[in-house]
Chains A and B, each alone.
Chain A
């Protein structure tokens, strides 16, 4: 039976040593939607993303992606699945010894037998989509922060993936570049019918692009819903996150003194 969910996460638990990073996370990401995963620092967003990319094995639980259980898939199955995935990393992760165009062409050269002319044309189409066509011969070190993210996005979509993961698209960018990237993400969903997973904590971006939002806090899934449902949430942690309310920490005087003076 064909599921309408592109990704199904069930009872996901991730521990780093004795520290629990993700605790019993379960939610679905539907095909063709933009799902934003948000939460404060240390909420477990990046760990969840690494699990979804198959870069981190969970302690327990399952992640079904396009019908494949990536937690129990062989390396071959994982690689087959990854050919249908695109990932734009937070820092771009462009190969510094290659030009922008060479970076974008790499998946095509490794996974297809396309002739040189077709590879060049496809590269330029993707570069044009992200407004980087005039900069195809630049090296990654010559790009600005926004250009790096757009180049990473072009590389992520070169194989026309069914699933696109975007880690912190707005981090470190000015508001205009950030808004341009948001528009680009929406246009990608509309033009290429991709399922897009965005990990971010930039509230403006979240409400601009999200079809649904999953909010994490201290390793727990607090809420999943549409932007309207999230805005209407009465959960204190969600309200604090949306209103940017600083966390209040209760200080035990004796414990604090012991921490400061401990050998």
Chain B
């Protein structure tokens, strides 16, 4: 009996996961089609760029500087053993532009804006606001989800750029200002080492991460009523938000590897 129940639970979990993945990508296709059709949601997209992008600046700057300083410190300690502190700038810049920048930016946006997006849509779903939009003949996916998705796709690469700049600055503070590495070798080493393909890799990653995290967070909240805890009210919203953050974060890390493997 218990064995049967366990197998049944595994089966229902697998079915629900497959359904969720299908719904999420279906939502992406619907939105990709609907954003091409008028009326165009310009102001709501700007509002979302402000919410996802501008309001995440503080956390991005603080985490960028901190991570840049930590990288600078660790690389300096390692490189000093081999007498190669001259490549500190290039090591810090390449690590940040190719890997840490896009990943950390996406994780910070998931924590700050992704969870809020999921909770907002989830609450709108359980309080019948999404149904009200449907009944007013206003497409909720276009009105609610599309601006958030576009806002995420535009904001995350911009935040990634800011993160890269301040993180490289953090590495500079530790390497040049504190440990006295020559400014010329830090800056020139960085300029020589970083090529267009590194910048392109970071840009592609941040664009995909931006789309992925906003899509997952939107879908989790928007389709809350179809999930197994959809009728659990506030607890359902809380669980959907937790799931959205966890799934988004894991997806970012997995896609980071995948894109890196395909583009390197």
Contacts and interface: CB of A to CB of B under 8 A. Distances in A.
B137 A55 contact: no
B178 interface: no
A91 B127 contact: yes
Contact of B138 (A85, A91, A93, A106): A106
A247 interface: no
B135 interface: yes
Contacts of A235: none
B132 A82 contact: no
B127 A93 contact: yes
B198 interface: no
B135 A85 contact: yes
A125 B39 CA distance: 27
B192 interface: no
A55 B131 contact: yes
Interface in A178-195: none
Contacts of A85: 135
A93 B132 contact: yes
Interface in B121-166: 124, 127-129, 131-132, 134-139, 143
A155 B138 CA distance: 13
B129 A95 contact: yes
A256 interface: no
Interface string A87-130: 10111011110000000001100110000000000000000000
Nearest to A103: B132
A111 B39 CA distance: 10
Instruction: Pick from B124, B129, B139 the residue with the most CB of A within 10 Å.
Output: B129
Nearest to B131: A55
Nearest to A263: B1
A165 B132 CA distance: 12
B136 A82 contact: yes
A106 B136 contact: yes
Nearest to B126: A91
B138 A55 contact: no
B128 A93 contact: yes
A91 B128 contact: yes
Nearest to B144: A95
A110 B127 contact: no
Nearest to A82: B137
B129 A93 contact: yes
A19 B143 CA distance: 34
B132 A80 contact: no
A196 interface: no
A96 B124 CA distance: 9
A90 B128 CA distance: 9
Instruction: Pick from A82, A93, A107, A111 the residue with the most CB of B within 10 Å.
Output: A93
Contacts of B132: 87, 89, 93, 95
Contacts of B124: 95
A228 interface: no
A128 to B, nearest CB: 21
A83 interface: yes
Given A89-B128, A91-B128, A93-B129, A55 B134 contact: yes
Interface string B83-126: 00000000000000000000000000000000000000000100
A54 B147 CA distance: 25
A53 interface: yes
B137 A89 contact: no
Interface string A56-91: 000000000000000000000001101101010111
B138 A110 contact: yes
B135 A53 contact: yes
A108 B7 CA distance: 52
A17 to B, nearest CB: 13
A107 B132 CA distance: 11
Nearest to B47: A97
A91 B127 CA distance: 7
A110 B135 contact: no
Contacts of A83: 137
Contacts of B129: 93-96
Contacts of B143: 110
17 contacts: A53-B134, A54-B134, A55-B134, A79-B137, A82-B134, A83-B137, A87-B132, A89-B131, A91-B127, A93-B131, A95-B129, A95-B132, A96-B129, A106-B138, A110-B136, A110-B138, A165-B135
Interface of B: 39, 124, 127-129, 131-132, 134-139, 143
Given A79-B137, A80-B137, A95-B124, 20 more contacts: A55-B134, A79-B139, A82-B137, A85-B135, A87-B132, A89-B128, A89-B131, A89-B132, A90-B128, A93-B127, A93-B128, A93-B129, A93-B131, A96-B129, A107-B137, A107-B138, A110-B136, A110-B137, A110-B138, A155-B136
Which 7 A-B residue pairs are closest in the complex by CB-CB distance? Answer: A93-B132, A82-B137, A93-B128, A79-B137, A87-B135, A89-B128, A107-B136
